[in-house]
Structure 1
Amino acid sequence: MNRIKLVLADDQDSIDLIKTLVKDISHFDIIGECNNGEQLLEAVMGKKPDLVLTAIKFSQKNGMQAIKECLSVFPALRVIFITGDHDYAIEAFDIAAVDYIVKPVTKERLFQALEKAKEIIFFERHKMGTHPGSQQKVLSLRDHNAMLFIPLSDIYFIEKVGKKCLVYTEKEIYDTSETMAKILPSLNHSFFHAHRSYIINVTKISQITPQKETFIVHFKDYDKLAKISKLKINEVRERISNG
């Protein structure tokens, strides 16, 4: 049976109330709880829910701004706002919110909103032939005191330099203290650990040339270079051949 992954963002008392109401409604699995906009942004990027129920007024990044940032990466994300006033209703529907509930929340009103969300999500899955988790994948990294959310399709390669890693994209090079061992499980089949210091997006390779004990990787429309060890070159060629 299809399940809908749900993240809740509000003060803890409100979350506890919503959890009590949601438990009797089929198809929904609560996979995350947040108490401010920063936590909401991080939860959506890391857990990739289908639906978010969120308040708007938080001390750290309001819910509206957090949702807009989430939608820039996951445009298929659906949201229901639950708030204490009407101030943001027009803005909410401008970003195609499923519903806008003004507190106090009743079981009947919440049920109505969730049923609407369920119909939309199931219809879109059927129309697109997709399943939960098929949204655009991102690499979530901590950079100093901030979180980075980088679409995997934007990454050419990752290089280990000293105690940090550099993530190369077309427009920017990001640095992080995350290790390669920590990063690898977050990547998809397009990436290959081709050298002790390089993880490469094989779908972006345009040319491979030998250079002494290693091979140099050239990328499509990109001037940065990576390396493949001679022990891994056959695996890389096989990965490219198999698509």
Structure 2
Amino acid sequence: MDDDRRMAGWEELVELPLVAASMVFLAAYAVRVLAPGLPGLWRTLDLAVLLAAWALFGVDYAVRWRLSGQRLRFVRTHLLDTVVLFLPLLRPLRVVKVYEAVQRRHGRPRLALHARVMAYAGLSTVLLGFAGALAVFQQERGAPGATMRTFGDAVWWACATLATVGYGDVVPVTPMGRVIAVGMMGMGLALLGAVTGTFASWLLQSFSREDDDRPPGG
């Protein structure tokens, strides 16, 4: 019980600062990908910011692992946190925990369950789409036979992939680019399923309330 309280206290303390670190990491990564011609000093500074933010993620993971007292079981029960540690561009997936941390400070949620799920999915889609476009553009830029020649092409590809449309006019040709594409496809299916399922549930509940409120024989 003491371990749980310490863990909850630590998470409440660092969650919002880690969100800021995540945004800084994403911005620094974007600069590194989109401005390859930066002078050496600025590229070194940008790399230092990236590594500092990554180090903060590592410290947070190590502290929570230590406070949990679970040892290797912590890795299995916090699989998303483990993946995010090695792939920090996926930190937008932790947006739900961020919202929970904010609401704990206010005492209660301000949005209904359905609205929260759709807000989570929408925000995750935007952040992951941007991060995925950056990652795949870094791999595809200058590759032989690449159809993704500009960052705009990468954003278009990310939108089509997350929406599960897949026009095929812009596709990754490098092995790592295709690995990223597979991940984006899976995320797109999951997010789309969350939104459509939540919307369908909301409609069913709305119709059910209308039937319950209708006078007998009406």
- Tell me the TM-score normalised to structure 2 length: 0.26
Query: 1 or 2 for the larger relative contact order (CA 8 Å, sep ≥6)?
Result: 2
- Tell me the TM-score normalised to structure 1 length: 0.24
Bigger fraction of residues in helix: 2
